[in-house]
Structure 1
Amino acid sequence: MRRRTFIKSAGAAGVSALLAGCTGGSGTEQTTTDSGGSTQTETTSSTGTTVGGEDQTLVVGTYGSFVDAPSTSPGPWLKDQFESEFDATLEWQTPDAGVNHYIERALRGVESGADLYVGLDAQMLVRVDEKLDDALFAPAEGLSRLGDVNEQLEFDPDGRAVPYDTGYISLVYDETQSEGGKFTAPETFDGLLDPEYEGALLAQNPTSSATGLAFLLHTIDAKGEDGYLDYWAELKENDVRVLGNWSDSYTAYSNGEAPMVVSYSTDQVYANESGADMAKHQIRFLNDQGFANPEGMAPFADAASPDLASEFMDFMLRPEVQAEIAVRNVAFPATTTAELPEEFAKYAHEPPEAVTFSYDRLQGNLSGWTDEWAREFASK
């Protein structure tokens, strides 16, 4: 029997990926301090274009692993391809606080310093609108490929954020972690509560992790707004371990601390590429469902180069670019026109049924749900 462990937290915080690094090309260096007090240097063009009618500069904010993941990242490839076709220079910004960095700038009355943000989801967009009175993002206009986007993945009723990929949250489990025979993950949310799975699940804090929040929302969908806290109380009683973020929990899983972890249904793609034992990377969709978490891109309302931002968004929706983003970001395309390589498609699993929450369902509810979860569990 595993010792009961549950995350302790100061309370619900804004959901954002805490990502390291900052990139950029020539321009003006600015040293800023984010909401967590950390200092970073970013390089931006002061006007968004170079002097004398030369190439324009497109400044794109995103999360760190989109540009500099240890394995592969779409960012460098996108920069090379875009610059080879357009008379423009693409500069990436990867502030540690993610989109919260731009929220804090807006709260201080400082311009965003970027033209576009890549990496928004519905939860983040709700947080943005809760924090700010004035618009941080503008509607995406003039996109010729907008009709190629899968309508089921669209999450912004105001047309600001356009999906460019999606992931599905699932359980990943290790068949080898069993004293007799193969370990098998349960098929339902209720199954997770069985005594045989005591101490067997690693999850993430929904107030600080995108995967953790997606799993929380999936439990709300499965158990209802009136029942999800009771369900989590039963998970806690069955010794679920809730760690800070995906990296923390997956590292613990990789070290054999538990046979199941909340992760992504593309886990076998990594396992196949690294030659890992596939028995340690099995996928389970609880209730035959996966929580879809589409990522979107949106132009900043104060973009210095809005037309160039639109061109880049259209570029991102091309079939061949969509396929490349999916492979490099280990996700699924957002459009219906992209074709994935056979080897990738073999190991990237889609659920029988996708579950997601629209912006309208999250608006006015998201903070309450996460605050209630934190009050009940994270502070105990």
Structure 2
Amino acid sequence: MRISRTATLAVAALSTLTLAACSSGPEAPDASSAAPSASAAPTGTVTVVTHDSFYVDDALLASFEEETGLTVELVAPGDAGALVNQLVLTKDAPLGDVVYGIDNTFATRATEAGVLAAYSPAAPAAADAASYAAPGAEDLLTAIDFSDVCLNYDLAAFPDGAPAFADLTLPEYAGMVSVTNPATSSPGLAFMLATIAATDEDGWLSWWEAMRENDVRVTASWSDTYYTDFSAPNYGGDFPIVLSYASSPPFEVVDGEPTTAAMLDTCFRQVEYAGVLEGAENPAAAELVVEWMLSDEFQAALPESMYVYPVSSSVEVPADWAEYAPLADTPTTLDPARIDAMRDEWIDAWTATVLD
């Protein structure tokens, strides 16, 4: 998924408002039948299945519940990979009604397993979301946000600018780089894919072998790499180059001055989607959640709440993002079907090369 605060995934216990009510006026003298009642709005609980980095402001969530009469329950089985795996394993008894957090590295696995029901939102931002659609799954997954997974560097360690991606294997950068394991981390997987796209499928393992010889550090999670290893002033670790996001540097500004920057030649474009789950108990409510995630209110909150870019063109990112969090002009990408076909093989090859 992306830098994000760990969500407190408690069941939202706000009271449920009942919106659907039937009423009838006095019968007209010549009426032969009762007037038809309006169709009922969805009510009850809607369960959102998401990754464990999902965060939404309590006030924003409460406003959605008040406006719709729904109670939102959050279920988080793990990171993006664990999320999709659990959806596949439980597709005959789905964990909830709607999912958020399937990204483009796992989209094909989810769609081919049949865990999603067709739904195309009507929100104005749906047109913007369509430009980030998962190929072949346009009616199953709706893009909500995107980000660039990139190496970040400590400006104090490199006053003349960051090294180029191709130079990281040189001896002068030995012991300077901390990344996350692609088998256990969504950004780790995205960065592994970036190295495949940047070096081609024949040369990427040679690059990683050289990085192993250059004492690259591998952690299990983004938080370990970023919060513990990074030498940036806010953390004080031992590694001046760490894996994170292009959107990280605005949060490391100290006394009005940036202390970190992203290496934009190392970026992989990551897109996160929402979708209605096949077999959902409350599919109408699930559709409302997807529409809500495309609303201006939800989209505008994404940079501060989950540190990702909104897909909607009608909302503006914070001013410091424009200055300190530029996106890569040419981020690396790979065909989702190719990722799905090769993901496990690539991870096994990476593990054998870097860790074994």
CA distance in 2, matches of 1:77, 1:232: 45
Amino acid at match of 1:246: W
RMSD: 3.1
Q: CA deviation at 1:144?
A: 3.8
CA distance in 2, matches of 1:206, 1:252: 17
Match of 2:268 in 1: 291
Match of 1:245 among 221, 237, 261: 221
CA distance in 2, matches of 1:322, 1:97: 21
Match of 1:266 among 225, 247, 250: 247
Match of 2:184 in 1: 208
Q: CA deviation at 1:371?
A: 1.6
Aligned length: 324
Amino acid at match of 1:149: D
Distance 1:321 1:97, change over 3 A: closer
Q: 1:117-156 maps to which residues of 2 (within 5 A)? A: 117-128=99-110, 132=113, 135-145=114-124, 147-156=126-135
Q: CA deviation at 1:142?
A: 4.5
CA distance in 2, matches of 1:219, 1:355: 9
Distance 1:371 1:127, change over 3 A: farther
Structure 1 portions without partners, runs of 5+ = 1-16, 28-44, 68-73
CA distance in 2, matches of 1:82, 1:75: 11
Q: CA deviation at 1:230?
A: 0.9
SS at match of 2:157: coil
Match of 2:68 in 1: 86
CA distance in 2, matches of 1:215, 1:101: 19
CA distance in 1, matches of 2:111, 2:96: 18
Match of 2:25 in 1: none
Larger Rg: 2
Quote the sequence identity (%).
Answer: 26
CA distance in 1, matches of 2:274, 2:310: 13
Match of 2:50 in 1: 62
Distance 1:76 1:20, change over 3 A: closer
Match of 2:330 in 1: 353
**1:85-143 deviation per Cα after TM superposition (whole angstroms, max 9, x unaligned):** 2122222122346663674475367512311111110223344467x5xx212222343
Give TM-score scaled by structure 2 length.
0.80
Q: CA deviation at 1:156?
A: 4.6
Paired residues of 2:92 and 2:279 also in contact (CA < 8 A):
no
Structure 2 portions without partners, runs of 5+ = 23-39
Q: 1:39-78 maps to which residues of 2 (within 5 A)? A: 55-67=43-55, 74-78=56-60
Match of 1:24 among 11, 15, 18: 11
Q: 1:166-315 maps to which residues of 2 (within 5 A)? A: 166-177=146-157, 182=159, 184-187=161-164, 189-250=165-226, 251-253=228-230, 254-272=235-253, 275=254, 278=257, 280-286=259-265, 290-315=267-292
CA distance in 2, matches of 1:212, 1:200: 17
Paired residues of 2:84 and 2:106 also in contact (CA < 8 A):
no
Distance 1:365 1:154, change over 3 A: same
Distance 1:336 1:374, change over 3 A: same
